Structure 1
Amino acid sequence: MSPSRPPTAVQMPSLSMRVKSSMIMGLTGLISRCFLHGFNRVEAHGLAQFRELLDSRADPEKRERGLLTVSNHVSVLDDPMVWGLLPLSYAFNPNNLRWTLGAHDICFKNPVFASFFTHGQVLPCHRSKHSIYGGLFQPCMTQAIRLLSNPAPAPSETHYSTTGTDSILSPLTHPYYRRYSWVHVFPEGLVHQHPDVDLRYFKWGIARLILESEPKPDIVPMFIDGTQKCMAEDRGFPKFLPRIGKTISVTFGPVLSYEETFGDLKSKWDDLVRRENARQQKTKTVGWLWKTPVVVEQAEEVQPVETQVGELMSEELRCGKEATEIRIEVARRMREEILRLRRERGLYGESDVSFGLAETWKVDKKEGGKKYTSNVDGSRINQD
């Protein structure tokens, strides 16, 4: 059962926090819009229906589910630049704008950056290739799942840690104000500049957002093309300046039918969770039989295991074979939805099927740098 909602005045963050977010998000949106429309040619497909969706979510009290947008990642400009497609009336309303994941070692490497990106609605994400704190189950994933959901009231702490030593302001300190938020992710996990804008495999964190958010979120696939020409990874001097006069195209798909796309996998996941919950409810004690320890299951009833949304109660749910197989298929289907938008553009050939497999890209794991040419497809990779 969803927790009861207190008055909005109680839910809202401090005036200072709201002003900072409005200024950072608004000015960033203004710069992005000026760059897109003032210096480039813009093609936006499906934007009207996407704006209608955002308009329907303008009042947090009337939202019934979170919004998850998912896209390919072809340039360091993708976020926040593509949101410059939205009129400025959207830019200064942070509560109806996206949250996203940003590299901890870049966006949160010092207190100034951490404050800027936190107020810019970015969650710190550790990349496993560069940090021992990375992976599917790091705190930013829990935060993102709860932003998409209607979480229980947060504990009294206003900050959380991703390493045990850092301190990040938690958006979930105001759970009712943040309930059913909009989260955008790039499941490729890095900038991937393929000549035909083909996609790498999708990392499995996207499956956690799709399967574990409660209730099921609205999911909108997006396909971005053209920003890679503004910031090509092999560009010459001056490298820090984006190129202008390019055609930038962003395609917004319709809201996916969750049941048609992921319904069977969600049922499998929920069944696995129920089975694990039942197993966890059985307490075990150690007895002795002729000096040999044996495990004895107690028959009496025990209370169900209490968990919050975004928490996984057992190792089987985290890393078990069945859980992994479900996540792989969810990620594959989500990638296919974005490839469908790519095909609708009519500019590129069919995707290489092998690119959708994680094992295809293992050869690139030997690359130590953050920027390199992929050994798989010759694409330019930027892990910044």
Structure 2
Amino acid sequence: MSGGTRTSGPAATRVLVINSGSSSVKYQLLDMADDERLASGVVERIGEPGGVADHMAALRQVSAELAERGLGLDSPELAAVGHRVVHGGTRFTGPTLITDQVLAGIEELVPLAPLHNPANITGIKVTRELRPDLPQVAVFDTAFHATIPEAAHRYAIDAATADRYGIRRYGFHGTSHAYVSRAAAELLGKAPAEVNVIVLHLGNGASASAVRGGVCVDTSMGLTPLEGLVMGTRSGDLDPAVVFHLARVAGLDIDAIDSLLNKKSGLLGLCGVNDMREIGHRMAADDERAQLAFDVYVHRLRRYVGAFMAVLGRVDAVVFTAGVGENSAAVRAAAMAGLEGFGIVLDPERNAVRASGARFVSADSSSVAVAVVPTQEELEIARDTYALARG
């Protein structure tokens, strides 16, 4: 586990944010009196050789690590625990105080997120066992996108079948899109209700959203996090008939196709690596596969920027966030190149500067701002959790 700490703050203003994955538990402890991070860390390789045995052991390790620094899970200064939950379906469209009934509802959504929700549920159960007296809140990746109108979230398949099995666009990375869209409005010096922004969350997973007046009206991910942009190991948009073709011609079963599209595609499938930094090094060495992977990545990105400009009608800012979005000047430059006719003019010098804070990278003459806003998903979860726990 790795982590860092700050001194303790006022009583009952702390929120512990838990992101429980299948083989890791990430955490942050924040003081909501001033939004300061008190501690953070990760327990990895759960259930693997050299790692802890299970999630109970992992969370006990988190508690012990915090206790060593006077920030223990049993502290009376802890107001609540916030849990990241990937899929809330149509049932959970906002932060939700966790009860037995809510937990059962999250379990019913496992078929929509079989790789993520079970691990999230395990983290909830273990933390409730460790602190049954403490308010615990589920914050859903899908919630920010629940405002998407039916014309945008409805797939054009048999309506009865879609309704029966919950097939629709849900969207993900919602806590990031919510935080970044508001932070972008602040950077513009306006209220969120006054601005339209396109948020590009570009990490190993990647998604785009169109946010009108602080409300999400479209997003690139769909029923699952597979749809949309090219990602580290995920294909993004794909003709559905590719699945039929692979089954009929290649003889692949559903599990093999699932693995191919989610774990062996995207940048990894195109050039053998999924790290944009390594791709940049290979491009500099004239690696044609790396160049193609970069070009495919950027082309898909530009398609969504153009589509969401049409959806919004007026765009005040295009905002880059997450690992690639915040750190790859090359991706930002390529994605925005040639869009002067749409009012987008990048400033090469501003774009090349590496900085940690929110900033503009567009030219003063650009009628559509281009910005970099570091995402703070844990802070967004903590704010939602604290507000609900206090209310």
TM-score (normalizing by structure 2): 0.25
Larger RCO (CA under 8 A, 6+ residues apart): 1
Structure 1 length normalisation: TM-score?
0.26
